[in-house]
Amino acid sequence: MSGGGRKLRGISGRQAVKAFEKFGYSVRKGRGDHVNLVEAGSPRLTIPLHDELSVGLLMHEIKKAGLTIKEFLELLRE
């Protein structure tokens, strides 16, 4: 795991959703405990509302959104 990936530990699904919303994504209800995030011209993101997301899943969704880990972490802090 890269050094940046370690910083993604302990992030909840709700925290991730809020960060992606700050980046311009809108929430669309998914199935069960999952939320779909949409933005025109961008791939749909699916985030489970778990207490802690797996680092691999989070890194994948960050990359799909076109963000860097650093940019995502900055959105979390805002």
- pLDDT one digit per residue (tens) for the chain, 78 residues: 455 677 899 999 999 999 999 999 999 987 889 999 999 999 999 999 999 999 999 999 999 999 999 999 999 998
Paired tokens of 50:
């778990």
DSSP for residue 10: T
Q: Given this model, what pLDDT does residue 6 score?
A: 79
Q: Given this model, what pLDDT does residue 75 score?
A: 97
Report all structural domains of the chain as residue ranges with CATH numbers, in order of start.
Answer: 3-77 (3.30.920.30)
pTM reported for the whole predicted model: 0.90
> What residue ranges in 1-78 does DSSP mark as E strands?
26-29, 34-38, 45-48
Q: Given this model, what pLDDT does residue 3 score?
A: 57
